[in-house]
A and B are shown apart, each in its own frame.
Chain A
Amino acid sequence: MTGAALEVDLTSSVPPFEQIRRQVSEHIAAGRLEPGERLPTIRDLAADLGIAPGTVARAYRELEAAGLVSTRRRTGTSVAPGAVAPHAAPRRAARHLVTLARASGMPDDEILDLVRDALTPPGTTAP
């Protein structure tokens, strides 16, 4: 199950459908939503956010027009196969590393040190 979530501020000057569209686009760009991953149904997402289903439907339509998601009658809306985030594989590997390191009890600053060490070419001293 994906950990991606979105937040809609009803007092914002940005319309709710645009907030949804933007955040889903960002999740796809960041690789948090991967190609083929199924998004919640319009009805479910509208119920969770307490907004009209038409608002979510409009956001999904615009995402579909941008080629980021595709909708099929049987499977619903999912991230389009072509909507690959740049550097998707390293992003996935980084998330995997963080999960593993946290599971082994490593604090976040030590995880960052680990990555810095890995970035340092052999034979040089880390800054």
Chain B
Amino acid sequence: MEVISSVRPPLVTGGKTIADVTEDICKQVEAKPSKSWMMGMAISLAVLTVGLYATVMLLWEGIGMWGLNKTVGWAWDITNFVWWVGIGHAGTLISAILLLFRQKWRMSINRAAEAMTIFAVICAAMFPGFHMGRLWLGFYWALPLPNTFGSLWINFNSPLLWDVFAISTYFTVSLVFWYIGLIPDFATIRDRAENKISQIIYGALSFGWDGAARTWQRYESVSLILAGLATPLVLSVHTIVSFDFATSVIPGWHTTIFPPYFVAGAIFSGFAMVMTLMLVARHVMGLKDYITVYHIEMMNIIIILTGSIVGIAYLTEYFIAWYSGVPAEQYAFYNRATGPYWWAYWIMMTCNVISPQLFWVKKIRTSIVASFILSIVVNIGMWFERFVIIVTSLHRDYLPSSWAMFYPTFYDVGEYLFSLGFFFTAFLLFAKFFPIVNIAEIKSILKSTVSDIKTLE
């Protein structure tokens, strides 16, 4: 029997030529900002301003402005930290792991996803900084500097210090990976630039790129090795973040399932954020031929997969708590689902475990409206996951006399707004001044998709 495999659908639709790709992506950079961009920017800056007020007040007065008490000593700050780090996982996953698996659909979204990663990691890093109270000292307290700087050597046994190394390495490597990919595209913009200022700026940003075959050969080698390095790195980062909890002896935190469970959750929330941003970018910037329904479907499939892994992890935690026979552990989980924070727990369960299962229906996972709504639902759910893990495990202490509730103040909410405002402002600036799709990579897949399909027709 002869088997003829079906032709894969083209990744870029609309019969684009190579020159069309240059034109479509560069015109976003060259044109005047659109009305919708200006509106988005105005909203982001407004949110950033409110957040900035809260942040300045917090730094001036100290973290007593937060709603923390002696029982709940960690709440919104670390919830936001873990949430942002999680969101920052999709970018490097898309560009590194999907590169190693040769998933070419990543090429339309990897640039924006990497930018998102970098901004999300900056947002995440803000929170431990604020929590240290004196932001300006925090940076060197965490570095391995000699005792003459005021303290002993830093404690390499502490998971909080591992976090410092993990997050800063992840940030640096992601930034380098992203920038290497941007160099050829900056050169494209440089060679099209008509005014002097953009010629100078994009000229400097493109590092004198001339497209020589020998440079391309090295460039591809560098991309592959960076992908190979970034793959274990991306898995290590959330593993180490989960160690912040898992190496403690608090019931509800002290579990060995945390590393894989956190990594799956991170990829889950990261893809949801990429989906939210890309659906807006696709609509506003007219990228429908580059980010097709196929791309959306592929991302949704990853969302079902990781969402289901997270669901299984939740159930496993319950089983282990029961099976362990430890009353404190059992109570921690019983309290999560039925205690005073039951509503947070059930928001988490609904948003993370139940609603992504809708993507099993092909109609829903290829629907743009449904994908957009569910991507936001997932990120609400993932925020509550961290809140549930952190606050419900702490608020009922070992002594019932110290049981307490956590109520956020304006400053808790304000810091969160600050990070959101920063994130969207940075992303909008990126979308306007940087090529949002990887031009050179998209050009390299055009031939194997568009023209083949054309000849078959």
A and B associate in one complex:
no
